[in-house]
Each structure stands twice: as C-alpha cells, then as structure tokens.
Amino acid sequence: MLRYLLYQVEYRRWLFLALAVALIIHFIPVDTSLSPAGKSILAIVALTILLVIFEPIPLPLISFLIVVLEVLFGVARPAEVAQSFMSDSVIFILGSLMLAVAVVKQQLDKRILFFILRLTRDSVRLTVMLLVVIAGALASIMGEHSVAAIMLPVSLILVRIWQENQLRETNQHVVFLMSVAFGAAVAAIGTPSGGARNAIMLSYWEGVSGVRVSYLQWVFGMYPLVIIQLPILYFLLLRVYRPAAGGLTNAFSFLRREMQEQKQFSVEDWITVSIMLLTVALWMMFSGTLGLGPVALLGVLLCVVSGVLNWDDISHDVNWGVPILYASIISTGLWMDSTGAAAWVADHLSFLLAFEAVGGRLLLIATMTLLSMLVGAVVSSGPAIALLGPIFLRQAQLSGADPLVFGMILVAGASYANFTPVSSPACTIIYGSGMVPRSDYFALGLRVAVISFVIIVAFGTFYWPFVTAFF
C-alpha cells in the first residue's frame, strides 16, 4: 500500500510540483494592481502550463482540476464557473468532432489512396503534392486530428509500398508522413472548423474585445495565408527529403482487388458529403446569426436522421476530452480577462511596446509572432492560443492596435511553429506512428517556421489590417 502510494508520488511528481507552484503564486503577496482573483487565475494558468507540458495526468483531467481550483481559490462562485465552461465555441468544437466521425466512418482512406495512385501512377513528387493538397483541403473543413486519423493509414500504405521497392534503406519514405502532418497543420487555420484553437480565438474576440467574427470573415482573413503556405510546404518537403522520381510501380497491382471495391460512391457516402457541404455553406452564410455551434449540431442531427451516423458511433469515436479541455481553457482565458489578470500581465509586458517605439509596428508584430511561435512549439498551438489570447488582445488595446490583427498573428504564429511533434494535433498523431524521428520535425519544421515568420509578419503589417477594416 505504502509502496503504491510512493510510486504514485514519484510518477505524478509534476502534478505535485505544479500544485505547489500554483499554491505559492496564490499565496504570495503582489502589488495591489492585481486583484486576489486575478492572482488566483494566474496561479491556475501556471499550473495548466506545467501540466500541459509534462502531462502527469491525462489532459482532459486538467480541466477538472481547473474547475476545482477556480472554486477553491475563489476566482468565482461554482455556478459562474460552470457557466463559463459553455459557449458557442465549445458547442462548435463538440459538433465539429461529431461531424468528423461521420466522415472518418466512411472508407475515405481507401478512396483517397485510390484517387492518388490513379492520378500519379509512379510519380512520388506528384503523390507528395496530392497528399499535401488533400490533407490541407480536408483540414480546412474538419479538425486536423480527424484528418490525421484518416490520412495516416494512406501514408503508411504508401510508405510500405515505397520501402518494398527500394534496394537500400533511406529515410525518404518519411516524406509521405510529413506531407500529411504538415499539410493538415498548415491548412487547419484556414477556417474556424479546422481546429479547436480557431474556435478559442473566436470566443476571445467576442468575450474580451466584443468583436464577433463570422466563419466567412475568418476564411477571408486566414485562407490566403494557407494558399501561400501550401506550395511553399510542398517545395520544402522536396528539398528536405529529395525523394527519388519513382518507387510506387507496384502499388496498383498490389492493391488492385482492394481498389476495385472502392470505386463506387455509396448512397451513405453521397449523403455524408452533402451534409458536410451544407454545414460548411450554413457556417459561411449564417454563422453571424445562427452561430457556429448550432449549425454544427444541425449537421450532426441530419447525419443521424439520415442514418449515416448513429449514437453508438458518436459516443464511441468522439474524443470527448477535446471539448472538455478546451472548455476549461477558454473559461480560464475569460476569467483572466474579467479578473484583470490579462491586463496586469499585458502591463508588465509593456516593454514590448518599446519595440514599437524603436522599430515601429513591424518590430512589435515580429516580436508577437516570435513569442507565439515559441510558446506554440512548447505547449502546442491550442493551449498557446488559449493562454496568450487574452494577453495579446489586451496588448493590442495598450498599443492601439486592432485586436483582430493581434489575434490572427497569435493563431498563425502558434500554429506554424511545427518544429516539435507536440506543436499541432496532426504532427502529434503522425509522430505517434513511430515512423518519424523527432529530428525530422526540427529539420522540416524549422524551415517552415522561418518562412512562416516572414509571411506572418508581412500579413500582420499589410494584409490583416486591410482586410479586417471590412469586418
């Protein structure tokens, strides 16, 4: 018994350390400009960062801890904490995950591979291009983690066929996996439905800055960045891995029987595609009035009523931890703002404004981009946006900048720092296959990050201020 307890203490040492840090921050005296509730929420933020990085407990359980501490530390009353957990963004994340189940359930992986091989035959370069484009296109509609789940089998089959055709062992096969990981990661910021982090920023814009951004406005703001990034990613993939010209000669014969079964679209497939398209259309046209969450749930209802999805699929395949975690993180971000903690941190980061005085707005934007990239690479893009969001938006207020621009910089910066496997859901899942060494993320991710940095700074200086003027 004692040995078991000691083991748990050692195994979960980061949990105890994080709790100790939170308690110290909670009880340490600070200047009166920070309210007690603000100090408490900063203690919870510190705890969340440590737990996200070291993960001594499963991530969704962090949200339970956040609820408990928000009440125990006196940030708010239980009913207020509970209310802060639910928002349109959380319902949107939940609905998007359920819709993704409908798509994942179809034999989409086989159809995609058949489509790729039919078009490319033996060309590895064309295959890489199609993987990037397809992963990117899918990640623009549904969550990038669902895209990774669909595309990982496709890329692994390609790896297997490729390896069987190679006379000597190389690491060039990694290019197929990285095409999917980075294709999905890069395109996921294109639309709000591409990832939960996008919904977090929408929630902050509304909650902190009082600005409501529609689905279509987001697409106008972010998709041009994706369109520029995808071809750059393709060329970087070819440059880093230099895949040989051929190598997939046997693919067709190897998979012929499997392919023939997958030629025809079934009725269920057509219904699923139609519902997805309808949902995206409704998001684009009516998200301002209907909201994003209700439209997503309407799509789920249609899927269930039309029989392409049943509740068992939903309850089994939805990753319930995702909405739970993001609900708690959004709640923390909003409490950071309402307790004055975000403003307090932004005040103490006002030295950043000195960059503006020295190098103008361009230098401030570059600093913000770099900061969001570094945090995104360490704690993953979602938590980075959730934790930095209120601070960036307050910083925008201090510097007289548009919060929409600063928010977009944060989303893009945190999402394009993929030089660690934990930086984005798609990279994490592909890394989990055990086929891609960590060093490959650094080699490719760093190049992507450097180019992205330049593009994001350019967008933050010229394009986003221009386009948000029409929002």
Partner 1 sequence: MHFLICVGGEEHSRGTLRFGLAITSALRADATILYVRPLVSSHFRKEAQLAREKLQAWPVETVDSRMMKAIERMLIEEQFVRMVDGRVDVRHMPRAEKGGLYEYHVYGQHGENVRIREREGDVVDSIRRETLDVVYDLVIVGAPGDGGRLVRHIIQYIEPSVLIVKNPRDVQYRLLLCLNDSESARRAQQFALRCAVLLKTSVDVLCIHTYPWEENVAMTLGEDAARLLKRFAVPHTIRIRRGPVVRAILKEAQPEHLVVMGPSERSSIYQFIFGSVPVEIGRRGNNPVLVVK
According to the binding rule CB under 8 A, does residue 20 interact with partner 1? no
Q: Which of 59, 184, 327, 467 binds partner 1 (CB under 8 A)?
A: 59
According to the binding rule CB under 8 A, does residue 322 interact with partner 1? yes
CA distance 147 to 188: 10
Three-class SS of residue 317?
A: helix
* Min dist. Cβ of residue 193 to partner 1 (A): 16
According to the binding rule CB under 8 A, does residue 60 interact with partner 1? yes
CA distance 96 to 299: 9
According to the binding rule CB under 8 A, does residue 153 interact with partner 1? yes
* CA-closest candidate to residue 184, choices 154, 141, 123: 141
CA distance 265 to 175: 29
Q: Which stretch binds partner 1 (CB under 8 A): 18-26, 54-62, 332-340, 453-461?
A: 54-62
Instruction: Tell me the residue type at 135.
Output: A
Instruction: Tell me the residue type at 28.
Output: I
Backbone angles phi, psi at 462, to 5 degrees: -115, -55
Pick the closer one to partner 1 by CB: 142 or 368: 142
* Min dist. Cβ of residue 431 to partner 1 (A): 6
* Min dist. Cβ of residue 429 to partner 1 (A): 5
According to the binding rule CB under 8 A, does residue 54 interact with partner 1? no
According to the binding rule CB under 8 A, does residue 312 interact with partner 1? no
CA distance 157 to 387: 38
According to the binding rule CB under 8 A, does residue 381 interact with partner 1? no
Scan residues 408-437 and list those touching partner 1 (CB under 8 A): 421-422, 425, 428-429, 431-435
* Min dist. Cβ of residue 94 to partner 1 (A): 15
How many of the chain's residues bind partner 1 (CB under 8 A)?
Answer: 43
Q: Which stretch binds partner 1 (CB under 8 A): 23-31, 51-59, 307-315, 332-340?
A: 51-59
Instruction: Tell me the residue type at 374.
Output: L
Pick the closer one to partner 1 by CB: 55 or 356: 55
CA distance 135 to 114: 15
| Binding track, positions 86-115, relative to partner 1; x by CB under 8 A | ------------------x--x-xx-----
According to the binding rule CB under 8 A, does residue 18 interact with partner 1? no
According to the binding rule CB under 8 A, does residue 137 interact with partner 1? no
According to the binding rule CB under 8 A, does residue 127 interact with partner 1? no
CA distance 309 to 318: 12
Write 174-177 long-range contacts (CB < 8 A, 24+).
174/241, 174/435, 174/436, 174/437, 174/440, 175/124, 175/128, 175/237, 175/238, 175/240, 175/241, 175/243, 176/127, 176/128, 176/131, 177/152, 177/430, 177/433, 177/435, 177/436
Scan residues 184-213 and list those touching partner 1 (CB under 8 A): none
According to the binding rule CB under 8 A, does residue 146 interact with partner 1? yes
According to the binding rule CB under 8 A, does residue 6 interact with partner 1? yes
Cα 34 from chain centre? 31
Scan residues 234-263 and list those touching partner 1 (CB under 8 A): 255, 257-258
* Min dist. Cβ of residue 294 to partner 1 (A): 25
3-state SS track over 5-29 = HHHHHHHCHHHHHHHHHHHHHHHCC
Residue 151 near residue 109 (C-beta atoms within 8 A): yes
Scan residues 450-469 and list those touching partner 1 (CB under 8 A): none
Pick the closer one to partner 1 by CB: 2 or 469: 2
According to the binding rule CB under 8 A, does residue 319 interact with partner 1? yes
Structure tokens at 51: 């737990």
Burial 184-206 (b: 16+ CB within 10 A, else e): bbbbbbbbbbbbbbbbbbbbbbb
Residues near partner 1 (CB under 8 A) are: 2-3, 6-7, 10-11, 55, 58-60, 104, 107, 109-110, 145-146, 148-150, 152-153, 156-157, 160, 255, 257-258, 317, 319, 321-322, 325, 380, 421-422, 425, 428-429, 431-435
